[in-house]
């Protein structure tokens, strides 16, 4: 029980500092509302330190979900659990309750008005698509009659909300760093990040990479790995992940103007295939899970990758906001598609839409949208 708490207090003392820096920069960067705070003020009033929105628990709330997934046109078959027959829809009725403040309700109109003329881009693997499609559904539900055009220009899918000139896109990138075609084969180059030139033109960027780092065999999308100009057949995958993250972090620090582009890192999204993590040894998937874990800590503790992310972010010089969704999502063993998806395979990695990723977007909204 105490494991995740213990680890978090010893290794992540930097996090509230990042948050404070972020708030300062956000106020500076949106001068029209200078003087106001990014977060709704409950936490500002109660104590001088800002509220940690990521510490809390799930509560049953009949006023959720925030929209009906059957009227959202942006959900791919993998995430559309209701459409593919999920028999228990209780997972839709949970709301994230931070321990020391309230999460503002998602206000899509205000979001679009404040983001007028801006470009928002998610960059990463299918968990970025999960995050992005939830945001599109939340916005669509707020302005159902507004004109929106979807366009696909591989590897980017974009929806433009024309009445607000706001674009929301997802750039598919498994590793953030590059996989290069060379004569010997596909090389995962831990030191190369060529797509950054496209990414940095956006006003808001939300990054993620993790789930492809341990692939092997036929589903491993590279043949060699390159680190510091040395090409090898393989290496410790956690080391490779942390080196790639450092390449990304150095790129942000040297190339991205964070006065005009706000940068988020999505954090590690957890899977639920090992019941030992939630005190049900022997359970090997999420098929029978119908309830979140109560309380605010996860028996299995934090995944090592989440610790690596925090270490890398803590050494950056530019402000990056960690959307620290790991623990709150770990508590949601009931939020995955399981077999209720277009392909019928057991999926305890992605999240049903509507569902847990709506909360990720409420947290994003809380950081972007001012009172």
Ligand X SMILES: *[C@@H]1O[C@H](CO)[C@@H](O)[C@H](O)[C@H]1NC(C)=O
Nearer to ligand X, 13 or 276 (CB): 276
Size of the site for ligand X (CB under 6 A): 6
Distance CA 192, CA 304 (A): 24
Nearer to ligand X, 85 or 221 (CB): 221
Distance CA 355, CA 58 (A): 12
Q: Tally Cβ neighbours within 10 Å of residue 47.
A: 10
Query: Does 250 interact with ligand X (rule: CB under 6 A)?
Result: no
- The single residue of 8, 126, 128, 296 carrying the catalytic annotation is 126
Q: Min. distance of Cβ 300 from ligand X in angstroms?
A: 7
Nearer to ligand X, 227 or 280 (CB): 280
Query: Does 274 interact with ligand X (rule: CB under 6 A)?
Result: yes
For 201-290, list the strands marked E by DSSP: 204-207, 224-227, 230-232, 262-265
For the chain, list the strands marked E by DSSP: 56-60, 94-98, 119-124, 148-153, 156-161, 166-172, 178-182, 185-189, 204-207, 224-227, 230-232, 262-265, 321-322
Distance CA 324, CA 12 (A): 11
Contacts of 5 (CB under 8 A, 6+ apart): 297
- The single residue of 130, 277, 347, 358 carrying the catalytic annotation is 347
Active site (annotated) includes residue 50: no
The contact pattern for ligand X, residues 102-141, with x = CB under 6 A and - = no contact, is: ---------------x-x----------------------
Distance CA 75, CA 134 (A): 8
Q: Min. distance of Cβ 160 from ligand X in angstroms?
A: 9
Query: Does 282 interact with ligand X (rule: CB under 6 A)?
Result: no
Contacts of 157 (CB under 8 A, 6+ apart): 129, 150, 151, 169, 170, 172
Query: Residue for token digits 């008005």?
Result: 113
Distance CA 241, CA 301 (A): 20
Nearer to ligand X, 119 or 189 (CB): 119
Nearer to ligand X, 63 or 181 (CB): 181
Active site (annotated) includes residue 192: no
Distance CA 207, CA 323 (A): 10
Distances (CA, A) of 105 to 117, 166, 252, 369: 23, 20, 31, 11
Q: Min. distance of Cβ 119 from ligand X in angstroms?
A: 5
The contact pattern for ligand X, residues 78-107, with x = CB under 6 A and - = no contact, is: ------------------------------
* Binding-site member from 10, 32, 63, 181 for ligand X (CB under 6 A): 181
Active site (annotated) includes residue 350: yes
Q: Min. distance of Cβ 172 from ligand X in angstroms?
A: 12
Query: Residue for token digits 């020391």?
Result: 100
Distance CA 100, CA 91 (A): 24
Nearer to ligand X, 276 or 279 (CB): 276
Q: Min. distance of Cβ 299 from ligand X in angstroms?
A: 10
- The single residue of 8, 350, 358, 367 carrying the catalytic annotation is 350
Q: Min. distance of Cβ 100 from ligand X in angstroms?
A: 31
What DSSP element (H or E) covers 237? helix 237-255
* Binding-site member from 20, 165, 198, 260 for ligand X (CB under 6 A): 165
Q: Min. distance of Cβ 116 from ligand X in angstroms?
A: 8
Nearer to ligand X, 53 or 306 (CB): 306
Contact 122, 170 (CB under 8 A): yes
Q: Which residues bind ligand X (CB under 6 A)?
A: 117, 119, 165, 181, 274, 276
Instruction: Please list the active-site residues.
Output: 126, 347, 350
């Amino acid at each position: 029980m105490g494991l995740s708490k213990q680890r978090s207090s010893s290794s992540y003392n930097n996090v509230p500092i990042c948050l404070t820096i972020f708030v300062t920069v956000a106020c500076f960067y949106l001068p029209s509302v200078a003087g106001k705070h990014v977060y709704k003020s409950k936490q500002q009033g109660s104590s001088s330190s800002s509220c940690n929105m990521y510490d809390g628990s799930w509560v049953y709330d009949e006023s959720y979900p925030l929209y009906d997934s059957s009227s959202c046109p942006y959900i791919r078959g993998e995430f559309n659990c209701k459409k593919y027959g999920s028999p228990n829809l209780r997972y839709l009725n949970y709301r994230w309750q931070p321990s020391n403040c309230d999460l503002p309700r998602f206000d899509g109109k205000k979001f679009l008005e404040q983001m007028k003329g801006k470009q928002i881009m998610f960059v990463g693997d299918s968990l970025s698509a999960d995050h992005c499609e939830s945001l599109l559904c939340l916005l669509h539900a707020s302005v159902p009659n507004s004109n929106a055009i979807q366009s696909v220009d591989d590897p980017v899918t974009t929806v433009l909300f024309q009445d607000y000139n706001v674009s929301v896109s997802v750039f598919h990138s498994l590793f953030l760093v590059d996989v290069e075609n060379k004569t010997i084969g596909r090389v995962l180059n831990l030191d190369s990040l060529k797509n950054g030139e496209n990414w940095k033109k956006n006003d808001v960027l939300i990054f993620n990479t993790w789930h492809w780092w341990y692939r092997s065999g036929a589903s491993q999308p590279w043949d060699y790995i390159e680190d510091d100009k040395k090409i090898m057949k393989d290496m410790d995958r956690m080391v490779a992940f942390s080196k790639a993250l450092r390449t990304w972090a150095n790129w942000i620090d040297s190339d991205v103007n964070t006065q005009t582009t706000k940068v988020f890192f999505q954090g590690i999204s957890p899977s639920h295939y090992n019941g030992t993590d939630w005190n049900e040894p022997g359970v090997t998937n999420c098929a029978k899970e119908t309830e979140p874990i109560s309380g605010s800590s996860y028996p299995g503790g934090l995944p090592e990758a989440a610790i690596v992310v925090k270490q890398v972010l803590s050494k950056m010089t530019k402000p990056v906001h960690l959307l620290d969704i790991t623990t709150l999502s770990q508590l949601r063993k009931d939020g995955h598609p399981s077999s209720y998806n277009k392909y019928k395979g057991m999926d305890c990695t992605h999240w049903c839409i509507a569902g847990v990723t709506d909360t990720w977007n409420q947290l994003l909204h809380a950081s972007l949208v001012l009172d």
